[in-house]
Structure 1
């Protein structure tokens, strides 16, 4: 069979889903390889670009960027990667800068829809590893000025104002920590200083300890000055990904009282959805869902209990879905946007992933793998008795990556031609092998033994 080169083409990627909290309109950021990899802001329902050619809706904060746009009451603010400035679009006009020209090439990210806008600022005036300064700042869009709000930590992320604008919560961490092994949550009161500029006072440490990593990430809540776990018993699954990109949102509140939410968790190399009682005291309720990847989930309407997310079903391309949870805790989702298939395979030829947990001797430490068996209805195997099919043994890029179950045509190219495919979520993969003494070489040595001696394929 001749190779289909469309299998190897880079497809557009949905990088973020954004909701206007006032109008409930949904937007998304799409990366387009066919346009030199630029990121475009799109109105999801209309499937219409908000910015034209030449605009790249992306940031370079902490290199991976994220959270490059925010929409409030129909007014759009976004970061333009080539110059690092924030631009505003209102009433369909052309983008206009709202940050000073002196900050060109200074990435600004993690925009918060509040007036004035809060953001993460990465100052490269001294563009050396030791000289780069990161802070939380306030952007005055009328004066086109920026004022530092919080500084001192090496990294900041996810600033969030309270609904009444009187308090701010944020995430911070220090070198050499990564955000998942020493990240801290703090809150503070919003006040005006002597110059009439917003300032944070009464900083309070909520959670997180420097240079300390826990096992699985479970949700907690902070109320009345105390932090507590939401679940009576820990759940051995991660309710969040490593904070590489600043736009990640692992849950969506779905009622005006703030008592219910939908959370994303990771199990066996796939993402699952839970209904969670935010009052605490009960374990999460698993929701039946066809999706195996949920990238970003956000609240759409508290009054209607609606949320939106982008993700993959088991044998389909990426899509954006919106809907509520019924009183009987069933998902009622509608597709807002569904990617067109680049390749159409015959029915029954898609290899369905099989998550497996292996035990690595001598301590039987867990190792999670995802196996795709050869799949082609017209053939049952080799004509040679006892011959096993070959198997591709694949390692993701690490160190905290994850090989999920999303449909990937490269894998299907091999499985449709008689090969097995095995993704290894070795030690360091998020929600994979949590035993840090599980080096990649040992894991692969064991997997090779399991594949070829234990007849996995």
Structure 2
């Protein structure tokens, strides 16, 4: 029985068997993901427009406007979803200025213009093959006559270009830049200038990119006088003369003006993450020259930090000195907020997240931890202790542990509120979300520790995190499990094959065969493993010791190929396969099935279960 709101019970129950308000249905019902936000117009009045994902509509991404009546009004008619397929991960599928939105429709990947109350108008030609031409990352020219964006062609070999097209009527796109394997983030930066990013295989956008600039002709829609301003670092998000770069080891703001290359307010912290998707906006420049960004929940204005109630921000936009952004919190769902640069601590909610039936005592808050690895280099994680307002665990017992691993593997765990984590902690489980060596958020040098070591250092660090928590007396060493998806699923399988730390594991659409991944992935990731492991096929054949028995093991396919090591896994494991989650979205039916599996797994890990699982 649940207690009154805010009342903490003295009821004692075994960890893992606590009654929880976080049901499988709660994980999906009413869930909406905030993907992007702009300040636009509705019926002649300035207002907020945002892009949200809807699990209940099979992951559809809908443009929504906040009406003068406070109501939420859908802009896309039935059959339309604003989602791009460029790089397969998409992002940057919509752009809003004034009372007009431009968006990429998922079904055909054409670029459309939308005015409130009217039907969407396709601006790009229909290709001979459906979805063969894809678009992303749009920006409107200062005179509002042109749209520049990324185009990806799938007619034969996949090619990527920056193109321009008319913003108000159908036209044939004009190629502005081509010849590199990838392009991104074309941005008008003032004085008729356009800047953009490019890179080539085997690099990813967080390895080695180039920053370009050209002069844009507003009459013809072409670019000339193109120059490469810099290369050799990871560049992102050009705005004016500013750009994010990691040339100091950290993703900080740098000024590139003429021959001037200077950091703006340098700090040993990162203001952005890896560019897996298009459309990220992690800082703003105000009309009075001030710059603002965030490190976690601390808003930085010209280098001065102001703490806020949020744990992070994304998709910033600014009008005057007022910022609108998506705020992520540690204790509740994300919201769209507004704040002034003069006092960022005062967050004004514009679009709230859903109200959940949880008291503050039901919610486990992330605690940052660092722990030693086998090399002595510390790794990091977010630890979530069990939390439930109605019960507590026995003093002589320690909770079971769920180790979680982010995907990528070039990504990072963040301390944002997640019902998927609260599902476990509210039942009496501890959770640790690991940032192994190679994760982002800790500088380029730490990120590069994964080069050539994927399937080794990530496995070591997940095992080290679990052992460290067990040795510190926080968790039960006999009831530790591990779970992850995609690249994290690979780490799950590799951990189960390499060590006797975990009682069970769950891999969601995890990678099991690196040879198959290398030979059958899309262009964006075609050479990703060249850095993570080494060029195919040379680096995929290495000698390695046997796990059981003596003697050296003869040369064989890469020991990190978990598909070939299934016989080494001696604990229960669950492997889930299914459709990939849309960028910024989810599928309600898939999420609901996963929630039921979580519920069954929780019961199996509780004390008194019939197996070690």
TM-score of the aligned structures, taking structure 1 as reference length: 0.86
Report whether the alignment pairs 1:248 with 2:280: yes
Between the aligned partners of 1:4 and 1:143, the Cα distance in structure 2 is 49
Number of residues of Structure 1 aligned to a counterpart in Structure 2: 425
Q: Which structure 2 residues correspond to residues 442-453 of structure 1 after superposition, within 5 A?
A: 442-453=460-471
The equivalent residue for 1:221 is 255
Report whether the alignment pairs 1:8 with 2:27: yes
Q: Does structure 2 retain, via aligned residues, the 8 Å contact 1:325–1:331?
A: no
Q: In 2 relative to 1, CA 365–91 (structure 1 residues): closer, same or farther, beyond 3 Å?
A: closer
Secondary structure at the counterpart of residue 208 of structure 1 = strand
240-249 or 143-152, which moves further after superposition? 143-152
The equivalent residue for 2:221 is 198
Secondary structure at the counterpart of residue 181 of structure 1 = coil
Query: What do residues 240-282 of structure 1 show as CA deviations (whole Å, max 9, x unaligned)?
Result: 111111110110123x13x2121123xxxxx2333343xxxxx
Report whether the alignment pairs 1:57 with 2:67: no
The equivalent residue for 2:264 is 230
Secondary structure at the counterpart of residue 29 of structure 1 = strand
Q: Does structure 2 retain, via aligned residues, the 8 Å contact 1:112–1:118?
A: yes
Report whether the alignment pairs 1:339 with 2:314: no
Aligned-pair CA distance for 1:14: 1.2
64-73 or 207-216, which moves further after superposition? 207-216
Q: Which structure 2 residues correspond to residues 160-199 of structure 1 after superposition, within 5 A?
A: 160-164=187-191, 166-191=192-217, 197-199=220-222
The equivalent residue for 2:483 is none
Query: Which structure shows the higher helix fraction?
Result: 2
Q: In 2 relative to 1, CA 313–395 (structure 1 residues): closer, same or farther, beyond 3 Å?
A: same
Q: In 2 relative to 1, CA 40–356 (structure 1 residues): closer, same or farther, beyond 3 Å?
A: same
The unaligned stretches of length 5 or more in structure 2 are: 1-18, 236-245, 476-613
Q: Does structure 1 retain, via aligned residues, the 8 Å contact 2:196–2:211?
A: yes
The equivalent residue for 2:489 is none
The equivalent residue for 1:356 is 369
Q: Does structure 2 retain, via aligned residues, the 8 Å contact 1:325–1:332?
A: no
Between the aligned partners of 1:294 and 1:375, the Cα distance in structure 2 is 26
Aligned-pair CA distance for 1:378: 4.7
Q: Does structure 2 retain, via aligned residues, the 8 Å contact 1:216–1:238?
A: yes
The unaligned stretches of length 5 or more in structure 1 are: 266-270, 278-283
The equivalent residue for 1:124 is 154
The equivalent residue for 1:268 is none
Aligned-pair CA distance for 1:198: 2.8
Secondary structure at the counterpart of residue 348 of structure 1 = helix
Aligned-pair CA distance for 1:372: 0.8
Secondary structure at the counterpart of residue 436 of structure 1 = helix
Aligned-pair CA distance for 1:286: 1.2
Q: In 2 relative to 1, CA 355–66 (structure 1 residues): closer, same or farther, beyond 3 Å?
A: same
The equivalent residue for 2:429 is 419
Q: Does structure 1 retain, via aligned residues, the 8 Å contact 2:146–2:164?
A: yes
Query: What do residues 120-175 of structure 1 show as CA deviations (whole Å, max 9, x unaligned)?
Result: 0101111xxxx1111000112435221111111111111111345x1101111111
Q: In 2 relative to 1, CA 151–190 (structure 1 residues): closer, same or farther, beyond 3 Å?
A: same
Between the aligned partners of 1:240 and 1:370, the Cα distance in structure 2 is 18
Q: In 2 relative to 1, CA 435–211 (structure 1 residues): closer, same or farther, beyond 3 Å?
A: closer
Report whether the alignment pairs 1:404 with 2:404: no
179-188 or 90-99, which moves further after superposition? 90-99
Q: Which structure 2 residues correspond to residues 98-177 of structure 1 after superposition, within 5 A?
A: 98-102=123-127, 104-105=130-131, 106-114=133-141, 115-126=145-156, 131-140=157-166, 141-164=168-191, 166-177=192-203
Higher relative contact order (CA 8 A, sep 6+): 2
Aligned-pair CA distance for 1:330: 4.2
Between the aligned partners of 1:260 and 1:142, the Cα distance in structure 2 is 36
Between the aligned partners of 1:122 and 1:410, the Cα distance in structure 2 is 35
Aligned-pair CA distance for 1:377: 4.4
The equivalent residue for 1:376 is 388
Aligned-pair CA distance for 1:188: 1.3
Query: What do residues 335-370 of structure 1 show as CA deviations (whole Å, max 9, x unaligned)?
Result: 1101223x41234121111011223244x3121111
Q: Does structure 2 retain, via aligned residues, the 8 Å contact 1:17–1:28?
A: yes
Query: What do residues 45-103 of structure 1 show as CA deviations (whole Å, max 9, x unaligned)?
Result: 54211112111111111111111122233122211111111111235211111111237
Q: In 2 relative to 1, CA 243–23 (structure 1 residues): closer, same or farther, beyond 3 Å?
A: farther
**Highest Rg: 1 or 2?**
2
